Amino acid sequence: MFGTKLNSDVIGVCTISLDRRRLVRGRGRQEVHRYEQCCKSSNVVYAVFCERCRAYVYVGETGDTLFQRHLLNMSRIRTRHADPVAAHFYTDVHSVADFRVMGLEKLHGSEDFRPKMEHLWKWKLLTYRPYGINTQE
């Protein structure tokens, strides 16, 4: 499995089951995953993987921790929020159990750099529509 589940037995403590050594990109290519993230990492670019679709469906960025963003996504899915990522996981026989998140890159320095790296990862993982949920701005 390439996506992750974030589990919290104690608030603020989490474990991630993630194969950090490989990442399947669009068109079946693989590349070495060179960054180490955990749920406490902040200022990250992340990907959402759908188990049912067997594909990365969304790439996003956050200044918050990966765990905080994961909790926000879970809440939106459970409350059937109109957010496109949430909607993917509560429609068309999908469920919250299909949702996985993966930290792609922890960034250092300027916050202005995050959207640029987010765009690069969207292109690498083919998450722009019609292949995924991301839209071109």
Contact between 134 and 128 (Cβ < 8 Å)? yes
Consecutive sets of 10 residues in the chain, 137 residues long: mean pLDDT of each?
Answer: 41 37 51 60 91 94 92 94 96 91 86 92 95 92
- What is the pLDDT, as a whole number, of residue 102? 86
The pLDDT, as a whole number, for residue 130 is 94
pTM score: 0.79
Q: Is the peptide bond before 130 cis (omega within 30 degrees of 0)?
A: yes
Domain 6-125 maps to which CATH number in 3.10.450, 1.10.510, 3.40.50, 3.40.1440?
Answer: 3.40.1440
Which distant-in-sequence residues (6+ apart) come within 8 Å of 52 by Cβ?
93, 94, 98
Which pLDDT score, from 0 to 100, does residue 98 have? Answer: 92
CA distance 96 to 108: 31
